[in-house]
């Protein structure tokens, strides 16, 4: 699939280009960016386009567009690609609202095109381990799923993610929170109710930088989700409690750090996570992380993440903002 990468910030450089250039069945053909020197240095022979408009004018030269532009542009760029007959991978957040996401899904279905939400954290090794334990019943009946993306970044950094403009979608709920929600939906399905606390805590912060979401799922499972930029003492990444056993993991999946360091995926140690992790209090070996599996499915022209799950996740996000505003539990 001749692929154009639309955007070359952190998402494009770390989470997309390394896979588009190495996964069998995909070709990184062009990158839309002003950072031409960096593209040419890393990916010789890959064409650099200067704007989305230039990409759309060249739509016949490509099969797939990967959208990793600022959040506010995701849905508009995905729609423009679909309208020109191109399949699309859309970085998170998939859209601003569930209604906007439904419109993209309907367009892709009508055109017979692939539309894939990029929720790559389903291929974190620790989450893959948790999902296997839940699926195989090793924990018994799960009654609580705790998941955290916490950081210690007390200083507000300049950039659109810190914008006071709600249309920028800079809230931590749209950023780290969408990963947390997607993992909960992947495990237990669309929740039936949402309670949330969403705040801006750091001095000078205008966008939300701290959030807690409590989701109640149809089977009675409760997901407690934390996302914060002001956590000086990090809680466990996962704590999954069941009637038979528990799974606890500390520390982050190593794939992001490896990608940021410039490592290419697929080596003999790729995705290995030493933990610590425990099953019922005893050490447990974690499955390997495998972000490359997302793009391997795309190369087969399959959506690795159902669009319906991304829509459900955005319904949760919207309910979380309503709950935080009203102080009430929101039924879905």
Q: What does the pLDDT look like over 22-62, one tens digit per residue?
A: 999 999 999 999 999 999 999 999 999 999 999 999 999 99
Percent of the chain with pLDDT over 90: 95
Are 220 and 232 in a shared domain? yes
Are 51 and 126 in a shared domain? no
- Distance separating alpha carbons of residues 132 and 84, to the nearest angstrom: 39
Residue 16's domain is classified under what CATH number? 3.40.50.720
Which residue range(s) make up the domain with 72? 2-118
Are 317 and 186 in a shared domain? yes
Are 113 and 235 in a shared domain? no
Number of structural domains the chain divides into: 2
Q: Which of 78, 93, 118 is the last residue of a domain?
A: 118
Are 102 and 157 in a shared domain? no
Residue 281's domain is classified under what CATH number? 3.30.360.10
Q: Which of 118, 149, 174 is the last residue of a domain?
A: 118
Q: Are the C-beta atoms of 249 and 277 separated by less than 8 Å? A: yes
Q: What does the pLDDT look like over 276-311, one tens digit per residue?
A: 999 999 999 999 999 999 999 999 999 999 999 999
Residue 152 burial (10 A CB sphere; 0-12, 13-18, 19+): exposed
Cis, bond preceding 93 (omega within 30 deg of 0): yes
Are 162 and 34 in a shared domain? no
Are 155 and 273 in a shared domain? yes
Are 89 and 127 in a shared domain? no
Q: Which of 89, 118, 147 is the last residue of a domain?
A: 118
Are 62 and 159 in a shared domain? no
Are 98 and 142 in a shared domain? no
Are 46 and 147 in a shared domain? no
Residue 182 burial (10 A CB sphere; 0-12, 13-18, 19+): buried
Q: What does the pLDDT look like over 225-271, one tens digit per residue?
A: 999 999 999 999 999 999 999 999 999 999 999 999 999 998 899 99
Whether the predicted pLDDT of 197 surpasses 90 = yes
- Distance separating alpha carbons of residues 125 and 109, to the nearest angstrom: 32
Are 286 and 148 in a shared domain? yes
Q: Are the C-beta atoms of 102 and 163 separated by less than 8 Å? A: no
């Amino acid at each position: 699939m001749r692929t154009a990468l639309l955007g070359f910030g952190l998402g494009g450089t770390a989470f997309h280009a390394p896979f588009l250039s190495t996964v069998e069945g995909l070709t990184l053909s062009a990158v839309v960016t002003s950072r031409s020197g960096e593209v040419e240095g890393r990916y010789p022979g890959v064409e650099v386009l200067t704007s989305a408009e230039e990409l759309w004018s060249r739509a016949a030269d490509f099969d797939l567009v990967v959208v990793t532009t600022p959040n506010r542009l995701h849905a508009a760029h995905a729609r423009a690609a679909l309208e020109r007959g191109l399949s699309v991978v859309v970085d998170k957040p998939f859209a601003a609202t569930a209604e906007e996401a439904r419109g993209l899904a309907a367009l892709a279905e009508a055109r017979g095109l692939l539309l894939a939400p990029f929720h790559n954290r389903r291929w974190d090794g620790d989450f893959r381990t948790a999902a296997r334990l839940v699926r195989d019943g090793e924990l018994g009946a799960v009654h609580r799923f705790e998941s955290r993306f916490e950081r210690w970044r007390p200083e507000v950094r300049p950039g659109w993610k810190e914008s006071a403009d709600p249309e920028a979608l800079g809230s931590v709920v749209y950023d780290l929170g969408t990963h947390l929600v997607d993992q909960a939906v992947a495990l237990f399905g669309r929740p039936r109710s949402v309670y949330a606390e969403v705040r801006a805590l750091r001095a000078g912060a205008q966008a939300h930088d701290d959030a807690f979401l409590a989701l109640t799922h149809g089977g009675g499972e409760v997901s407690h989700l934390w996302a914060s930029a002001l956590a000086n003492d990090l809680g466990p990444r996962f704590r999954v409690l069941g009637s038979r056993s528990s799974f606890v993991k500390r520390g982050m999946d190593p794939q992001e750090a490896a990608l940021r360091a410039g490592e290419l995926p697929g080596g003999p140690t790729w995705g290995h996570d030493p933990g610590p992790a425990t099953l019922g209090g005893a050490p447990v070996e974690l499955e390997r992380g495998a972000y490359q599996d997302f793009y391997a499915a795309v190369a087969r022209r399959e959506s690795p993440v159902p669009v319906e799950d991304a829509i459900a996740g955005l319904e949760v996000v919207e309910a979380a903002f309503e709950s935080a505003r009203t102080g009430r539990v929101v039924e879905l």
